[in-house]
Structure 1
């Protein structure tokens, strides 16, 4: 009924009223409680309490208008024709023909001019009540706008990280590789000359070049790992687990691979969550084993990281776990930490995924 009312107002008034979010009620005894707590249902009830009297007035007024207009137009003439002599009022005063005609004409003009104004006022009342009670609230629309805007910012930041990663991989890293190869060739030639000082300098330069290449590779993995784009979460998280100082067991839901892969933002977030969690385990947990589970649950991806270490983990300001909370909040994700003293520590992450 609400949808039909919004459609009718959009058709007649040319104004589209966006409906509120649809509430799906449970099919159990709790339905009645849900109905009582649903603000949208109460707003709909208020709308129909306003709409029904307005509709009743319109249903009465329109037929009455079609009857009253010809009656008022013909009444003075009929009165004059049927009463050629002026009638007397009950108080004994005589009423002349001009006054009767004037009263009939004034009534006709008032009706013709007043009814459209009344209809316009009733239509505006109906539109206002529908927009207020059946439409989405301003705060709801604002939340949607902010959600879309935040998603665009997150996507733009992720795209910028990937661009920087490509620039480093295809630019600076390739040049350093070329320098390292040239230094390696120079070392081979200097070895035959016996110049120990020059050989030592070349050894140092070659070593620094290789260190720089390693740092750039680490940096590019931190920005956006190419393996994540090329091969998906399974391969990317397996590579992170292989670099961890603690043995890691990784289980990835098959529903997150192939054509059912999440979008790039969700994959990137999950990758960095697991990467940061394993880094914290290596540094602080003193664990002997870590388990990572990634699965799709309805419209979300759930990540569980359990380490069997000393426990006591908490999101300290400026720490890695606090950074994870900030990253997840950008896409409406949640982070739950359970870390009693003595372990184990359990991180549960939920990331929305269509």
Structure 2
């Protein structure tokens, strides 16, 4: 079946062809005695009527309406227009009498428009216009009016059909995505209610039991985190440029995905967060430095959360943990001691990129690092970011 918008057009074309074929027959019979060669014209009109009835099935759909049929159909219409100059008298032609196929010709042109769009309609209507001018032997006002009418109508319908087809494909794609999303959500619910809960229970029991069971619990926790990332739609790490990946913007999600584990939860948009390769690498390194601080100062049992937000004017990455927090004045003291992890590995990287890094911490309430990279800074061709500082962290 054709698309829902296209099928009514084919049905309307069938009705148009039948009605206009009947009109052409009636019109010829009414003026039979006024023709120069009435028998020749009658033979053509009879062929036109038989052809119309015999080919009704051809104009039921785009699949049946082949290019070969369209060519034969238009040839019949053009033959009738040119044959009018032989069958009719010059006086009748000059007075504006109808051609042998009359308005049936428009149906042939409209078939081209529905089948192939406005470009096919333009070719078919141009051929009809040329035949009309040859038959009339002059560019009279009525002739030009009819030619222009066929051009505008056929090309307009062809354009509408093309737009409708694109809309239909877009709608079909959207419905497929919606169906896939619903199925994924259903699977995610089933996995969450079963597998993830079992893995979480194995992790807790293993940690409580200690020994070899603790190792089993750790592995279960890692598998739980990987499975949770999969069902939540988080990205799978992409190959690096060294592995043959094509150059171009990098998806920040793929660089941050390896940091997810049983102790680190990654939340990212469902669509790619594209950044310049250098900016994506520096932002990812800043996140790694923040997570390193969590491991060093909050302990191995601390949990961290990474939140990626793709805003219209900036990319925002937040790293939060549930550790004891940073005592007041500790960062300043670390800088005085020459330990510039936060100052250089985090704030320095963002500063070089034209962004900002804000650190919020309260004793006993954990620490939050907010990394903000404006997109305006990425558009400007600024100096290359400073090399990553691999020194000690605060």
The higher radius of gyration belongs to 1
Asked which structure has the greater RCO (Cα within 8 Å, sep 6+), the reply is 1
